């Protein structure tokens, strides 16, 4: 039997019947004349438009930023048997779950207390009490980690008192850990939500656990959505012989093997280890901006050495291992040294396609600092650096990094700006390559600048998050994705010319 050729939206709507339909539909749309649309489209690419665009202060257009509780539930889901529990309106949790599902292509359970109008008037105590009881009875968590949506924050719910009441009423066991964090969506972003939840969990479950030093190193990844990074850090520390506790191991839940069984709690940082983290020799965070309060807390309350070291790029990774070696007294093994050699070898081999290329970047603060450092190591020229959740400190840190290399002299840092600002910049001062998340594809479309997808969220390409971007292996992955994007673009542009080379 002859198989029927099936056309889905990708082909179907290119057919003449549909193109005619679209044209005819204009009769009812009261559209602007096509010349007018063209004129305005061209105008949006001008310096004049850019000036207006940068003058806006009250509206964000395509920001690369999302709200605190997303980071909080990402953080808590990395602990063993932990159910993220969100006090507030229920739509938020539906959104957080969907957002993380779409990036990781993995399930995520999280609870909402489904607050509605009556809670707005009377407060969310009843929702919290019933929510804790139902969640505990139905889903048997070992820990319920509570955070909030903006609704609970605006009406001022007292989480501490509510949780205490639930225990007093025996709705949940008295010894069930129920840490909490206030995570208002109108303050900061998910990196702060991660930070607040981490601090909330650690301060709660380590209370009264100060004892003998365990000689371990605590590792906090920060809001790192590369599951490959979690596997990579474990591999590297094991290679080095460092005894460590990974605080919030998101790879357990966001990279679990398919066994034909859905496990609500597929692993994560053992609670016992997390409780003992107070007795570690030191804590190392792999991101700075998403761990500020936590690290401050660890320094002050645990009197522990706490370092933020982000191993993205060669120099950063070198520094990471040097510091780690100092902290632990363990030498850097030859195997890691060999990995460094391979990564550098790859950079040397690929440099002709990256040297002198101009880059625009949009993303999270720590990743941007790492990526810019790496690009400059390869002779790339960062030009536009946009960080929607960036602050003054980020601007200074980035400026300092840029001044450290001659390749940094063209760059400008845009804290608190968004991808619509970046669109203007990319028209008035075009670049060769754009680095950003999946939503940056609209900039690729509008400006024709090839996009390397690095960051969060990555919705439209599969499995990128499974490949580490940290360590020397991460360097190799970054080189590979960037250089091959350059080469793909080169092929596309030279397709019917003599420059269509087969060896590059």
Active site residues: 150, 154
150, 198, 369, 372: which one binds other proteins (CB under 8 A)? 150
Please identify, using beta-carbon distances, which residue of 151 and 451 lies nearer to other proteins: 151
Sheet with 451-453, edge to edge strand ranges: 412-415, 381-387, 358-362, 433-436, 451-453
The distance between the two most distant Cα atoms of the chain, rounded to a whole number of Å, is 79
Q: Is 167 in the site for other proteins (CB under 8 A)?
A: no
Closest distance of CB 207 from other proteins, Å: 25
Q: How far is the CB of 139 from other proteins (least distance, A)?
A: 7
With CB under 8 A, what is the number of residues at the site for other proteins?
A: 106
Per-residue CA distances from 362 to 359, 413, 457 (Å)? 10, 10, 12
Q: Can you tell me whether residue 494 is helix, strand or coil?
A: coil
Torsion angle, CA of 160/164/166/172, rounded to 10 degrees?
A: 110
Q: What is the DSSP letter of 464?
A: G
Q: Which stretch binds other proteins (CB under 8 A): 67-75, 212-220, 465-473, 479-487?
A: 67-75
**In the window 351-390, what residues touch other proteins (CB under 8 A)?**
none
In sequence order, the 6+-apart residues with CB closer than 8 A to the CB of 68 are 147, 183, 184, 185, 187, 188, 189, 190, 192, 193, 196
User: Which residues in 114-143 contact other proteins (CB under 8 A)?
Assistant: 114-117, 119-120, 126-128, 130-139
Structure-block tokens of residue 471 = 């360590």
Which 432-471 positions form the footprint of other proteins (CB under 8 A)? 439, 442, 446
C-beta of residue 364 within 8 angstroms of C-beta of residue 456 = yes
DSSP H helices, 257-313, are: 271-275, 292-301
Between CA 420 and CA 52 the distance in angstroms is 12
Which CB sits closer to other proteins, 104 or 472?
104
Closest contact distance (angstroms) between CB of 364 and other proteins is 13
Answer for which of 75, 145, 151, 201 binds other proteins (CB under 8 A) is 151
Where b means 16+ CB within 10 Å and e means fewer, 392-405 reads eebbebbeebbeeb
CB of 270 to other proteins, least distance (A): 22
Q: Which of residues 249-308 bind other proteins (CB under 8 A)?
A: 256, 258-263
Q: Output the smallest distance, CB 7 to other proteins, in A.
A: 8
Site for other proteins in 174-203 (CB under 8 A): 184-187, 189
Distance from C-alpha of 219 to C-alpha of 78, rounded to nearest angstrom: 13
CB of 68 to other proteins, least distance (A): 8
Distance CA 133, CA 227 (A): 32
Rounded distance between C-alpha atoms, residue 370 and residue 426, angstroms? 22
CA of residue 198 relative to chain centroid, distance: 16
Which member of 237, 304, 423, 494 binds other proteins (CB under 8 A)?
A: 423
Rounded to a whole number of angstroms, the minimum distance from the CB of residue 126 to other proteins is: 8
User: Is 111 near other proteins (CB under 8 A)?
Assistant: yes
Please, which residue, 365 or 408, has the CB nearer to other proteins?
365
Q: Can residue 348 be called a binding residue for other proteins (CB under 8 A)?
A: no
Cβ proximity to other proteins, 111 vs 236, nearer residue: 111
Least Cα distance to 368 among 325, 397, 326 occurs for 397
Write the burial class of residue 24 (CB in 10 Å: 0-12 exposed, 13-18 middle, 19+ buried). exposed
Q: What are phi and psi of 170, to 5 degrees?
A: 60, 30
Only one of the segments 88-96, 210-218, 290-298, 362-370 lies at the binding site for other proteins (rule: CB under 8 A); that segment is: 88-96
Among 76, 148, 149, 405, binds other proteins (CB under 8 A): 149
Site string for other proteins, 10-39 (x = CB under 8 A): --xx---xx--xx--x--xxxxx---xx--
Complex with other proteins: residue 250 or 401, whichever CB lies closer: 250
- Considering only residues 43 through 62, tell me which ones interact with other proteins, judged by CB under 8 A: 44, 49, 52-53, 55-62
CB of 39 to other proteins, least distance (A): 10
Q: Per DSSP, what are the bridge partners of residue 217?
A: 244, 282
The nearer residue to other proteins, 216 or 423, going by C-beta atoms, is 423
Identify the helix (H) or strand (E) that includes residue 460: none
């Amino acid at each position: 039997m002859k198989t029927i050729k099936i056309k889905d939206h990708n082909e179907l709507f290119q057919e003449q019947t549909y193109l005619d339909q679209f044209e005819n539909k204009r009769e009812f749309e009261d559209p602007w004349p096509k010349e007018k649309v063209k004129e305005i489209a061209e105008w949006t690419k001008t310096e004049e438009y850019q000036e207006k665009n940068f003058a806006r202060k009250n509206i964000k257009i395509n920001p690369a930023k999302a709200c605190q509780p997303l980071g909080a539930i990402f953080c808590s889901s990395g602990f063993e048997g932990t159910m993220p529990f969100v006090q507030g309106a229920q739509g938020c949790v539906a959104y957080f779950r969907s957002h993380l599902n779409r990036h990781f292509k993995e399930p995520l359970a999280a609870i909402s207390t489904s607050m509605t109008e009556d809670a707005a008037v009377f407060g969310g105590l009843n929702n919290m009490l019933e929510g804790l009881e139902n969640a505990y009875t139905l889903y048997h968590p070992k820990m319920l980690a509570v955070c909030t949506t903006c609704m609970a924050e605006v009406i001022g719910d007292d989480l501490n008192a509510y949780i205490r009441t639930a225990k007093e009423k025996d709705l949940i066991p008295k010894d069930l850990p129920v840490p909490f964090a206030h995570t208002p969506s109108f303050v900061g972003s998910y990196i702060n939500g991660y930070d607040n939840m981490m601090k909330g969990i650690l301060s709660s479950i380590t209370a009264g656990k100060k004892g003998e030093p365990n000689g371990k190193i605590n590792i906090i990844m920060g809001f790192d959505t590369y599951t490959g990074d979690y596997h990579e850090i474990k591999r590297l520390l094991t290679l080095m012989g460092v005894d460590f506790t990974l605080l919030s191991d998101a790879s357990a839940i966001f990279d679990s093997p398919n066994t034909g069984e859905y496990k609500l709690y597929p692993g994560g940082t053992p609670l016992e280890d997390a409780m003992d983290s107070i007795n570690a020799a030191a804590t190392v965070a792999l991101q700075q901006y998403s761990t500020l309060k936590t690290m401050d807390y660890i320094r002050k309350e645990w009197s522990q050495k706490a370092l933020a070291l982000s191993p993205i790029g060669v120099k950063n990774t070198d520094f990471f291992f040097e510091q780690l070696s100092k902290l632990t007294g363990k030498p850097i093994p030859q195997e890691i040294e060999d990995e460094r050699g391979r990564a550098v070898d790859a950079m040397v081999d690929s440099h002709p396609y990256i040297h002198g290329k101009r880059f625009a970047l949009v993303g999270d603060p720590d990743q941007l600092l790492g990526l810019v450092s790496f690009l400059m190591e390869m002779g790339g020229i960062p030009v536009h650096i946009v960080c929607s959740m960036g602050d003054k400190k980020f601007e200074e840190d980035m400026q300092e990094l840029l001044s450290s290399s001659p390749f940094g002299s063209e760059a400008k840092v845009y804290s608190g700006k968004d991808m619509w600002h970046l669109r203007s910049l990319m028209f008035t001062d075009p670049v060769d390559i754009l680095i950003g998340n999946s939503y940056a594809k609209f900039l690729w479309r509008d400006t024709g600048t090839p996009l390397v997808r690095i960051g969060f969220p990555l919705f439209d390409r599969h499995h990128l998050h499974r490949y580490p971007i940290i360590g020397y292996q991460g360097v190799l992955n970054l080189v590979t994705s960037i250089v091959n994007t350059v080469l793909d673009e080169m092929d596309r542009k030279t397709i019917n010319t003599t420059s269509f080379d087969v060896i590059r």
